[in-house]
Structure 1
């Protein structure tokens, strides 16, 4: 595979399309493509020419006092811009060095790509190969040869960081490579509702750092330079989401080794326990996860019980008769977020778990053997 892409090859990868975005993945507009000066027709897009600042020249600049500047310089050389070609036109995102060989990005950035390119700060575009993708966690792994020596692996955090921890998102929003926005971790244990997915992404991180189209796949880092999460989606000016480092640790090694990841599956539809459910079911507990319905061919069929009728509470139909899950193995389950995190981080398909439920006003424990989540149904192109 040629690693440095010729100008003619690159222009073919950047055909004209209308500007759009999908969960942080930006489609490029023709005007944006034409703003970049191109080298002569026969020149390859390799390392940047001498008139650009080199890492050595930047290192000789006066030291910065800013803690944010320090973490930026520590991390930015390990973050890459991503450009892909699809049947719908070119699109972009971000990626970062996971280890000495591979980069991590989002599934939705590269899954439908016919070809993929990455560019680090001080080198030109390189063609990359997709090693593995996982639709359900929105994670993907890329391989690219001839990486610059400055592109060193970014470590993952050892455990969850507290709400209020300063973080920064580094990536390629709107093709502005190496952009840096700061904020804090503003929430943990979120279920990320990604477009086109029937299952949410568990254990998500919420941040108020600016997340824009093109940030997808880039790292959300602490001021120690460790990756707390992989930016996945933005929901407004002060709400963005990242896939947790814990999820990365679970999924990415399988993508490297096998190209895919299998998720545990219960085959149930759930509701959080709320006041109307408590009243309609006369529940002896005020928290937990209510089993609304069960897939006929799912692993929970015959083990758990779903609702069998509705009851009117304050003018609204509320399901009644279903189990309330309050514990799985040694994990208390106060809500759907905890149940999703338990399945995603602690179990594998085929595991047998102990599920404590409230049924007919009594607590009881049942054994459930988990299945494998059905294959993803990806949106069709064009």
Structure 2
């Protein structure tokens, strides 16, 4: 652009369309150089010529041409020069744009196929993930006023259009009030629909408009494979939605419930980072379907860089259905209290030692004997359960695993070691007393 302006300026100022301030009215021009005179004194001075010098010098010749040409030819030349300058300016302008685009580097977001799939998965499933705040009632020691303070937080996800939110039980444990924040930052008060302490699952309900609720796609966890990519979405440390990626590093793991200590079977193990606040959030497969609930992390160092565990969606599905329909989970029990596994191992036997069997419970009604002391204070061991329905029982986890496959009202054959003899006792399973 600068070059074009200079060129056009030079053309215009050399054009007759722009004459000098003092136009030449006569052709008589005083030359800037000295006029040569003959050295001989006898030569008579000639009559003054219209041109100051012979032969013509370049300045005089230029002025002669400018004053002797046809005015029409001046206008034509000026028009030609003007068109040429405009064409040259336009060409330089286009050339400048092309050269600028050639030298200025503009970053282009060229993502790989797997990156695009991850970005799309996060954008499509983030509206289904919510932030849960656990509020507890506290009383001021001086004023005795009762107020609510946040005692914890976690994640959850929308289960259906009815406003049901699924999360971990330990996220809402001990709460006097709960609040759920959706992806659009709208907050609603939540009430507890039901919970399962044994499997660390809880269902909340919010009265939110249906257009704000986007249920998460439900997948299947029975056909998962080690090495499969997984994605965890949550609100760690109270931040906005975050995404961590990893693979399934193990299947059919077993962890204990944080509330009751009862084992949770078939847990998914992953190396995707599950930080504080991710609890209750979804674990997704590469298709964006729910395959588990992020519930715990095992880290010997105490950092959030250990092994993460997720409750499989097949287990969660049945629990949520019962909680939504009945507000409780009717899980069968034997109605016993048993000794820790380490105590039984010290006795040199394999099985579950019955410490207590209430008379109004299933085991007490069937006649299982608890551990007690005689009149002299000596310890008399109770029955030791060795198998249920022909399935071997070596510890408490085996017993829970077998009972999880049964239903309330089923009759099971319990084989026990009583003294030196084995006996088979039929027992009718019943629900927990507080769930009846």
Asked whether the 8 Å contact 1:203–1:340 carries over to 2, the reply is no
SS at match of 2:306: coil
The residue correspondences of 1:337-348 to structure 2 (distance < 5 A) are: 337-344=397-404, 346-348=405-407
| 1:142-176 superposed Cα distances (whole Å, 9 cap, x missing partner) | 22321446723320415263444432221111012
Tell me if 1:299 matches 2:299: no
Answer with 227-236 or 111-120: which moved more: 111-120
Residue 192 of structure 1: aligned partner: 256
Aligned match of 2:312 in 230, 244, 253? 244
The aligned counterpart of 1:182 is 245
- The structure richer in helix per residue is 2
1:353 deviates by 1.8
Q: CA offset at residue 103 of structure 1?
A: 1.6
Partner of 1:105: 167
How large is the RMSD of aligned CA atoms in angstroms? 3.6
1:351 Cα deviation after fit: 2.5
Alpha-carbon distance, 1:74 to partner: 4.0
Aligned to 1:315: none
More strand by share: 1
User: What runs of 5+ residues in structure 1 fail to find an aligned partner?
Assistant: 1-59, 282-287, 310-318, 377-382
1:211 Cα shift? Answer: 1.8
Cα distance, 1:293 vs. partner? Answer: 2.6
**SS of equivalent to 1:242:** strand
1:83 aligns with 2:151: no
Compute the TM-score of the two structures, normalised by the length of structure 2: 0.58
Q: Mapping of 1:128-143 within 5 angstroms? A: 128-143=190-205
1:1-382 equivalent positions in 2, closer than 5 A: 65-66=114-115, 67-87=117-137, 89-90=149-150, 91-101=152-162, 102-144=164-206, 145-148=208-211, 151-157=214-220, 159=222, 161-183=224-246, 184-194=248-258, 196-197=259-260, 199-236=262-299, 237-266=305-334, 267-269=336-338, 276=345, 280-281=348-349, 289-297=351-359, 298-301=361-364, 303-304=367-368, 322-326=383-387, 328-329=388-389, 333=393, 336-344=396-404, 346-356=405-415, 365-375=424-434
Question: Is the Cα–Cα contact under 8 Å of residues 308 and 322 in structure 1 kept in the other structure?
Answer: no
**Equivalent residues, number:** 299
Unpaired segments ≥5 residues, structure 2 = 1-108, 139-148, 300-304, 374-379
> Residue 205 and residue 149 in structure 1: after superposition, are their counterparts in 2 closer, same or farther (change >3 A)?
same
In the TM superposition, residue 289 of structure 1 has moved relative to its aligned partner by 3.7
CA shift, 1:255, in A, is 1.4
Q: Distance in 1 between matches of 2:363 and 2:286?
A: 43
Kindly provide the CA deviation profile for residues 203-260 of structure 1, in whole angstroms up to 9, marking residues without a partner as x.
Answer: 4433332222211211122223232222222232322333332331222112112222
Residues 102-152 of structure 1, C-alpha deviations (whole Å, 9 max, x = no match): 221122223443433223333422333332233333222122321446723
Q: Which has the larger radius of gyration?
A: 2
Question: How many Å separate the matches in 2 of 1:330 and 1:148?
Answer: 52
Distance 2:310 2:114 in 1: 28
Which residue is 1:27 aligned to?
none
Per the alignment, in what secondary structure is the counterpart of residue 114 of structure 2? coil
Distance 1:244 1:98 in 2: 15
Closer, same or farther: CA 148–116 of 1 in aligned 2, 3 Å = farther
SS of the residue corresponding to residue 260 of structure 1 reads coil
Taking the aligned partners of 1:78 and 1:134, their CA distance within structure 2 comes to 22
Structure with more contact order per residue of length (Cα contacts < 8 Å, sep ≥ 6): 1
